[in-house]
Every structure is written in C-alpha cells, then in structure tokens.
Structure 1
Amino acid sequence: MRILTFLHSFEPGGVERVALRLHAAWMAQGVDSRLVMGRLDGAMRREWPGLQPDVLDSHGIPTAAWETLWMILRLPGAILRHRPDVLFCAGNSYTVVSVAMKLLLGRKCPPIVAKISNDLVRSDLPAPARWFYYRWLRIQGRHIDRVVGMAPPMRDELRVLMAVSDDRIAIVDDPSLDAADIPTLAAARDVATAERAARKGRRYLAIGRLAAQKNFGLLLEAFARMAGKDDRLAIIGEGGQRKALEALAARLGITGRVTMPGHINPLHGELAQADALVLSSDYEGVPAVVVEALAAGLPVVSTRCSVSMDDMLDHGRFGILVPTGDAAALATAMEDIPTFAYNAAAARAHANRFTVEIASRDYLAAMRASVRR
C-alpha cells in the first residue's frame, strides 16, 4: 500500500508534527509512504533532517500567504505522479484540500483518510457562522472516505455533525509521543524535583501558536488575577498575536513575570520546571501538549475546549477543567494546583495510549479498510 501525506510546510503545529511522526514511523515499518509539501519553510525542518519530501516547486514565487490554494492547484499533479493507494489528510485545516481533490480528480482520486484534529461543536463561533460551519462538515462527510477521531468521545460528534456512518469512522488515539519520550520526559522532571521544591513561587507553562484559537489573552488575565510576586508564566510558541499579547501583559502589569521565548523543541526542560501546564484554548481536538505533560508527570489546568478533554485527563485524575472563556474560573484552578491530588506515575502510564508505535498500526488498518471498501 502506498500512502501520500500532504502538508503545507514545516511551520510548527501539532497537526504537522503528528503527520511527520506518522510518516517516519510508516517508513521505518517498510511502508511505501510519500510526503508532498507546499514549501520547505519552518522551524520543524531541523527536527526532521532526514526527510526528503516532494516539494511543489513555485519557481521562487512566495506561496505562504495562499498556501491552501497553492496546494489545491498543484497537488493533483503530485497524486497522478505518485499514484498512491490512499491519501492521508492530517487534520481539519487540510480537509478543504481533500474535498477539492475529490471534485477535481473524480474517480482518479484515491480513498481519503482524514484525521479530525479539532473540536467540531465550535461553540466559540457566532450562531450564523456555526450554521455554515456545520453544513461544511456535512460536505466533508460526503467526500471523505474514512474519518478518524483522536479519542473515543469524538465518535458521536463525527456521526452526528459530519453525518458519517459508523463503518466509516475509526478512533485512533492521537500519537503525540514516541514510546521512548515517556521515560525521557519523566526522568527530566524527576531530576528537577529538588529545584522546584527549593524555589519561591509557582511556574505555569503554556504551549502553542500565538493565535486566536489558543486564547492566551484569557490566560494572561487569569494569571494577573491570581499570581503572587514570585509566580511566573511562560508561553512557548510563536505567531501573529505576539505584539497584542505583549501589549496586554503590559496593561495588566505582569510584563516582568511573563516570558514568551518563541518556539522551543524539545520541551523537556520547560515541562520539568513547571508546576502546571495551562491550556486556555477556545477549541482543540486532542492537544499534544497535554499528552506531553501527562508523560512528564505534570498536572494540567485546561478549559473544556474539546469533547475529549475529560477522557484525556481521566475525568479529573490528572487535571482541572474549567469553562471556556472564563478567566475567573481559570485563575481559581491555577491557584488550586499546589493542593491538587496528583499521581504522576498513573499519569505517565495513561500517556502510553498516545504513542506513534500504537497509532501508526491503527492508521494502517483504517487505510487498508478504506482501500478494500
């Protein structure tokens, strides 16, 4: 079986990192896995130096600003050139390309297996926009051959909102880690135990693109409400909202206690030093950063940004959930972390669900079923 995965670039993102991890795992297993990319830009290129993707040559014309249209225009040629048995759509941001391939190629388009990487309810959208969004989900459901939810609670969402029958749904826990990452993250955190105990104040960690979806503005407001003079917050990531977030931190009077160092990988040191991971997003799928925190043995404070969050945190065993958009509730949960009853060993065991070694085999099974169908 030949698999073709298409990505825009190596720009940091959870969807792209998981897709690259799966692609590498399939190649290691002897699968004929092909990777097509719109361009080679992005910090994650350093993390995958051995990959040799087929790049959609733009002859020097910048394509980042219109990358989706560029992919739609050029991917059909790559599909006809590689002749894959199945197309792997890595996440929601790529489903528009998948639907376009079905419409443009017709019978020449191979079966498409699409990972649904975000919450489908999207309660953050105003009602008129949500009406159009739900109809777009049904269009996707008609054209995508098999949809993959990243956690068991997503099955009902896929069935209802995308109008997909059970025989076209697969559930595969999102491969946020390699199996070897779990002992490495755990060891780094255990080594830092004495250092954490000796310092003054608490250290809160947030990770993600500086984008509206992540609602880091809410996190800054929550931190300003509850932080003592020795408490610190680090927001790891880069994106278009940097200046707005820096301005908000200044207005809230917390500039000296908040750092935004940009994209960092690996995150072992940051996860080792933190007292809690905080997720303030309006919507998510199965956030990889939460799995990394569990593997390290780090408690989580999160908004209910996904139907899967309860399952990820084992219904309150490994973290505290609060409503989306509620700065006061988020601040209270962050303040409660020092007294939160947390079993690091159990969290690390729970993280074993989310490894590429398991997911790569499950994805192959879903793909073979789609080819047979």
Structure 2
Amino acid sequence: MRILTFLYSFEPGGVERVALRLVRAWRAEGVDAPLFMGRADGAMREEMAADLAYEVPRQPFAIGWIETLWMIATLPRVIVRLRPDALFCAGNSYTIVALAMKLLLGRRCPPILAKISNDLERRDMIPPVRWLYRRWLHLHGAFIDHFIGMEHPMEGEITNAIPAAIGRISIIPDPALDEAQLVRLHHAVGSARNASAGGIRFAAIGRLAPQKNVALMLRAFACGAASLDSLTIYGDGPEHATLSALCRNLGIEDRVELAGHVPDPASRLPDFDVFLLSSDYEGVPAVIVEALAAGLPIIATRCSVSMAALTGHGALAHLIDTGDLQAFSAAIRDAGRLRQDRAASLAQARRFTVERASQAYLACFQAIRRPAPTRQNNFLSSN
C-alpha cells in the first residue's frame, strides 16, 4: 500500500508535526509512505525532517504567500506519477487541495482520507462568514472518502457539519506524542518543579495568531498573577509584535517571555508549574496532551467540543469559557491551589501516542483503497 502525504512546508504547526510523525511511523512499519512538500523551508525542518526523505518541486520564486495555489499546481503530477493507493489530507487547511485534486484528476485521483484537525462550529466567525463556512464544510462529503476525528465527541460535530460523512468516520486519538517522549516528560517532572522558589511559573505553547487569543492570556495574567509569578510562551507568529507591545502596556514585560519557536517545546514543560491555553477554537490541542504527559495542572478555555473528554471531564484541568477574562484571571489567581493526579494524567496522555494511532490509520487506508494495477516504485526523494 502506498500512502501519499502532502504538506505545505515545515512551518511550525500541530497538523504538520503530527503528519510528519505518522509518516515516520508508517515507514518504520514497512509502508510505502512518500511525502510531498510544497517547499522545504520552515523552523521544524531540522527538528522533524533532518533524516526524513521527501520530494519538493523546484521553485521559480518564493511561494510561501501562494502555498495553496502552488500545491494545487504541483501535486497532480506527483499523484499521476506515483499512483498512490490513498492520499492523506492532514488537516482542515488542506481540504481545498483535496477538492482540487478530485476536480483536476477525476477518476485518477485516489481515495482521500482527511483528518478533521480543527473546530467545525467556529462561533468566532461573524454570521455571514460562518454561513459560508458551513456551506463549504457541507461540500466535504462529496470529495472526501473517509474522515478522522481526533476524539469521540468530534463524531457528532462532524456529522452535524457534514451529513454525508455518516458511516465514513473513524475516531483515532490524535498522535501528539510518541511513547518515548511521553515517558521522558512523565519522569522529568518533579525535581525541576519542586526546586522552584518564589512565584508560580506558568507556561504556554502555541502559534502567536488570532486563533490562540494570547492577548486574553496576557490580560488575565496581568490581572490575576502575583508579583513573583512568571509566564513563558513558546511559539512565534504574526502577532508577535502586537503581543510584545501589549506586555509593555500592561506592565508585565519583566515577567512575561515570548520565547519564540524552539525545537520540541514540550520538553521544556517540566520546568514549569502550570500550563495555560487561551484559544478561541481548537480541534484536540496537542499541547494539552503534552501538558498531561508532564503532569502539569492545566487552565484552559473550552475551545473544542472535545475539551471535556480530553481533560477527564474537568478532573484534569480547570476549564473556563472562551473569551472570559474574569474567569481566566481568577483561575490564575488561584493557581497555587491546583493539584494534578499524575497517574490519571499519564493514562489519559497515553491514549494519544503515535504507536497506537499508526495501525488505526493504516486500517482506515486499507478499507478505502481501490484495486490498483502493478506499478514501479518511482518515488524520488530529496532533502
């Protein structure tokens, strides 16, 4: 079986990180799993793909600003040449490419398995835009052959948004970690944290983009944190300058570090006391799984239909409504009282390992594959 995964770049993102982890796992299990990249740049390249073979087209100019159109233009030839048994559409932002492949290739397009990686309700949108978005989702049933949800509550969310998906949905907990990383995080916690003196050390991981509503987190920290508390945020993005200015305006620039992108930010979590998430919407946030593996108390918004199930129905996190500054501030103010059941936290995180997910994905690909003629393996990879 040949499974072709296509990604825009190595720019930091949970969707891309998980997809690269799956490709690596499939290859380790002997699956023919070519990887096609629209471009070879991005901060995750050295971390996630230093030894991972992939194909990338020659670029006549910088294509980052038209990466979707570039993928639509270059991917069909790769599909026709490789004749994969299935395409892996790694997240919501790639489904426009999946639609284009069905339209451009017709019967030559292999079955497409798509992971629903983000919230489908999108209550953050203004009504006209949300109406258009819902119509777009409704169309997915016509060109996606099978859907993957990342946690059980997503099945109802998917069928509500895409009625044609009924009977074509599998739930596979998102492989946010591998078993070795999970064990490292679990055992690294304790000594570093117990050595803490002074205030509470808060941490967050995420792209500095509107979806993450980091501004809410900063305002809540300014209102609720004690003078010795600190906050470190790993991640970069278009709002970096705006958020830096907000820190200065709130008078917290000496206690907040916008640390930027770092390799494997989850490995830093054992150095902290409490994990924060302020997103307006998410699918199943991988950073919450990482925080669970590290045994950190968690304060998070109800940014996903899956948040309750992901956090043991509130037993493993303090959940607040999205956008609720007062509740977020109060939770930060009372963070010193938070305690985490490390055994339960580890058991929950273990559901989300690539070792468990890999075989489940392969079973889904086997179920949707079509009989194919014998072909030569003509995948040429380059780094």
TM-score (norm: length of structure 2): 0.94
Question: Could you tell me which residue of structure 1 aligns to residue 324 of structure 2?
Answer: 326
Aligned pair in 2 of structure 1 residues 182, 116: CA closer, same or farther (>3 Å)?
Answer: same
Q: Is the 8 A contact 1:149 1:171 kept in 2?
A: yes
- The Cα of 1:190 is off from its aligned counterpart by 2.2
Aligned equivalents of 1:234, 1:99: Cα separation in 2 = 40
Displacement over 3 Å in runs of 4+: none
Looking at structure 2, the residues matched to 233 and 164 of structure 1 have their Cα atoms a distance apart, in angstroms, of 44
Partner of 1:238: 236
Q: Aligned match of 1:283 in 281, 286, 290?
A: 281
1:262 Cα deviation from its structure 2 partner: 0.6
The match for 2:259 among 258, 261, 270 is 261
Query: Does the alignment pair 1:203 with 2:204?
Result: no
Deviation at 1:163, TM superposition (A): 1.5
Q: Partner residue of 1:317?
A: 315
Q: Distance in 1 between matches of 2:254 and 2:367?
A: 54
- Which residue of structure 2 aligns with residue 123 of structure 1? 123
Q: How far apart in 1 are the matches of 2:137 and 2:367?
A: 22
**Could you say which structure has the higher helix fraction?**
1
Could you say which residue in structure 2 is the equivalent of 1:162? 162
Candidates 247, 261, 264, aligned match of 2:245: 247
- Report the Cα distance in structure 1 between the residues aligned to 2:166 and 2:359, rounded to whole angstroms: 20
Match of 1:54 in 2: 55
Amino acid corresponding to residue 357 of structure 1 in structure 2? E
- Secondary structure of the 2:314 match is coil
- Which residue pairs with 1:353 in the alignment? 351
Aligned to 2:86: 86
Q: Secondary structure of the residue that 1:235 maps to in structure 2?
A: strand
| Cα deviation code 1:108-154 (max 9, x no counterpart) | 10000000000100011111111000000011122100011000000
Aligned to 2:189: 189
Secondary structure (helix, strand or coil) at the match of 2:334 reads helix
Q: Which residue of 2 aligns with 1:151?
A: 151
What is the match of residue 39 of structure 1?
39
| Cα gap change, 1:109 to 1:65, in 2 (>3 Å) | same
Q: Which residue of 1 aligns with 2:28?
A: 28
Give the C-alpha shift of residue 187 in structure 1. Answer: 1.6
Aligned to 2:211: 213
Offset of 1:193 from its aligned partner?
3.5
- CA change 1:165–1:267 in 2 (3 A) is closer
1:347 partner letter: S
Shift of 1:267: 2.8
Deviations 1:261-315 (A, max 9, x none): 1111223553112111111001000111110000111111111110010011011
The residue that corresponds to 2:375 in the other structure is: none
Does the CA-based 8 Å contact 2:141-2:165 persist in structure 1? no
SS where residue 258 of structure 2 aligns?
strand
Distance 1:190 1:334 in 2: 21
- Work out the number of aligned pairs and report it: 370
Do the aligned residues in 1 keep the contact of 2:147 with 2:165 (CA within 8 Å)?
no
Larger displacement relative to structure 2 (160-169 or 243-252): 160-169
CA RMSD of aligned residues (A): 1.2
Unmatched segments (≥5 aa) in structure 1: none
CA distance in 2, matches of 1:172, 1:21: 15
Q: Say if 1:3 and 1:86, in contact at 8 Å, map to a contact too.
A: yes
**Does the CA-based 8 Å contact 1:158-1:164 persist in structure 2?**
no
Matches within 5 A, 1:14-25: 14-25=14-25
Q: Is the contact between residue 193 and residue 272 of structure 2 (CA under 8 Å) also seen in structure 1?
A: no
Corresponding position: 1:95 with 2:95: yes
Structure 1 residue 319 displacement after superposition: 0.5
SS at match of 1:41: coil
Deviations 1:2-59 (A, max 9, x none): 0000001111100000000000000000000010000110111111211111102213
One-letter identity of the residue aligned with 2:141: G
2: CA distance, partners of 1:36 / 1:268: 26
Tell me if the contact between 2:189 and 2:294 (Cα under 8 Å) persists in the aligned partners: yes
Q: Helix, strand or coil for the counterpart of 1:36?
A: strand
TM-score (norm 1): 0.97
Q: Is the 8 A contact 2:146 2:165 kept in 1?
A: no
| Contact 1:188 1:268 (C-alpha < 8 Å) held by counterparts | no
Matched position secondary structure for 1:278: strand
Q: Could you tell me which of 205, 221, 224 is aligned with 1:223?
A: 221
Match for 1:183: what amino acid?
V
Structure 2: distance between partners of 1:75 and 1:102: 12
Q: Which amino acid aligns with 2:51?
A: G
Instruction: Check conservation: 1:205, 1:270, Cα contact below 8 A.
Output: no
Paired amino acid for 1:23? V
- Matching residue's letter, 1:27: R
Structure 2: gaps spanning 5 or more residues: 372-383
Amino acid at match of 1:174: D
1:372 is displaced (CA, Å) by 5.2
Q: Percent identity?
A: 53
- Paired AA for residue 344 in structure 1: R
